Structure 1
C-alpha cells in the first residue's frame, strides 16, 4: 500500500509552487487559453481557405508567451517544469512509457500489413511532434495554465478537472475551422476523441506532478503521436 501511495504522490515542490499563485495568475491563465482558442480557430479557417498551415508559428508563439509571462511575473521558467531536480527520472519515465506505446503501435501496424513510412517523414515528424505539438501542449497547459488555475480554484480535483475540460476544448477550434463545420456538428462527431483527450490529460498531468517536470509528459506525448505515423498502408 505504501508503494502504491508513493507511486501516485505529487512532488512536494509542485504543491508548494501552485499554492503561491493568486487571482491575477489565474486570470492570466484564462486569458492565454482564450487567446489560444481564438487564434486556433482562425488558423484552421486560414488553412481551409488559403491552404497554408499556421500551426508551427502559432504554437511557437504560445510557448514564447508562457515563457515571457513566467519570466516577467518573476516565476521563472522553472515554474513551467524546466527543472534539474529529478530531471533524469522524468526523462527516463517519459522515454520508457513513450517507447512502450511505439512498440505496441508497431506490432499492431505490422500485424495489419502496414509498412514503415519513408525515413525523411519519420525524422521530420519526430521533431515536429516533439517541439511543435508535445512541448507546446505540455508547457502551455500542464506547465502554465493548469498550475496557475490554482490561483482561482484551490481544490486540487476541481482544478485538474477544469484544466482537463479546457484541454479538450483547446483541440476543437482549429479542427472545426479547418473542417468548415459548426461547433455542435463537430462535437457530435468527435465524442469518443474528447474522452481520450480528457484521459490523456490526466496521464500527462500525473507525469508532470510526479516529478514537477515537463520532460516526462513531453517525451511520452511526442513518442505517442509519432508512433501513429511510423507505418503506412
Structure 2
C-alpha cells in the first residue's frame, strides 16, 4: 500500500466514524429495534461453528484456485452463506435475527447511502460517475454489492449480534472483526504470501471489521455496512 493510499484510508476511516456518530444522534437511531436472544450462549456457539465451517471452506476453495477474481469471491461468499441460511431455516429463526429486520431497514439504507457518498467524495469518484460509467465498471460495482451483501450478512448480520449477546457488546464486536480478518487469510496466502508478509493486511482487515461492526451497531441493519463497504471498495479500485 502506497503512502497516498494509506492517507486516503485513514481519512475515510475517520470520516466514517464521525458521520456515524453524527447520525447516531438522531432519535430514530435511539429508537431502533434491537435483536434479543433467549439463549445467547447457544447462539454464540452456532456462530462459532458456522465460522469454523466457512474458514475450512475458504482454505479448500482458495487452495484449488490458481488465481482469484470477483467471480471467485462471489462464489465463495454464496457458498459461505449457505450454512447460516440453513441454521436460520432449521431453527426457524426470522431474517431480522441476521440483520435484516424491517424496522431498521430504512435506517440502514440511510446510513449506507450517506457513507457511500462520503466514500465517493474521498476517492474523488463523483466526477467519474457523472461522466458516465462503462459496462465493466457497472458490472464491477454489481459484483461488489452482491459480495458485500452476502459477507456482511454472515459477519455483521448473523455472527456479531450473537457473539455480542453471548460475550457482551464490546467483546463480541471485537471477536467478530478478528474472525472477519482471519477469514481473509486463505485468500492472501493463496496469492503466494507468507503469514508474516500478510500481517499488514490482517491488521487493516481487523480495522475494517471494527468499522463495519460499528456501523451495524449504530444502524441496527446489515444493509448499512454492506452498502458502504461495496461502494468504498469499488471506488478505491476504480480505474
The answer, yes or no, to whether TM exceeds 0.5 is: yes
Does residue 168 (structure 1) correspond to residue 175 (structure 2)? The answer is: no
Who is 1:215 aligned against? 223
d(CA) in 1 for partners of 2:236, 2:32: 35
Give the TM-score taking structure 2 as reference length.
Answer: 0.77
Is the 2:164–2:173 Cα contact (8 Å) retained in structure 1?
A: no
Is the 1:204–1:217 Cα contact (8 Å) retained in structure 2?
A: yes
Who is 1:121 aligned against? 136
Spell out, residue by residue over 1:123-182, the C-alpha distance to the aligned partner (whole angstroms, 9 max, x if none): 1111110012x11221000111122224542x2211111111111111111221x2244x
Cα pair distance change 1:174/1:21, threshold 3 Å: farther
- Residue 54 of structure 1, CA deviation: 3.7
d(CA) in 2 for partners of 1:50, 1:214: 26
Cα pair distance change 1:44/1:126, threshold 3 Å: same
The correspondence for 1:60, drawn from 75, 78, 101, is 78
Does residue 31 (structure 1) correspond to residue 66 (structure 2)? The answer is: no
Is the 2:84–2:154 Cα contact (8 Å) retained in structure 1?
A: yes
Give the TM-score taking structure 1 as reference length.
Answer: 0.79
Does residue 70 (structure 1) correspond to residue 88 (structure 2)? The answer is: yes
Q: 5+ unaligned residues in a row in structure 2: which ranges?
A: 1-20
Alignment of 1:73-84 (within 5 A): 73-84=91-102
Cα pair distance change 1:11/1:194, threshold 3 Å: farther
Who is 2:201 aligned against? 193
Q: 5+ unaligned residues in a row in structure 1: which ranges?
A: 111-115
Q: Is the partner of 1:213 in helix, strand or coil?
A: coil
- Residue 21 of structure 1, CA deviation: 3.7
With a CA cutoff of 8 Å and minimum separation of 6, indicate the structure with the bigger relative contact order: 1
Is the 1:205–1:217 Cα contact (8 Å) retained in structure 2?
A: yes
Is the 1:125–1:226 Cα contact (8 Å) retained in structure 2?
A: yes
Cα pair distance change 1:147/1:74, threshold 3 Å: same
- Residue 213 of structure 1, CA deviation: 1.0
Spell out, residue by residue over 1:16-41, the C-alpha distance to the aligned partner (whole angstroms, 9 max, x if none): x2443433322221111111111111
Who is 2:122 aligned against? 104
Cα pair distance change 1:227/1:19, threshold 3 Å: same
Q: Is the partner of 1:86 in helix, strand or coil?
A: helix
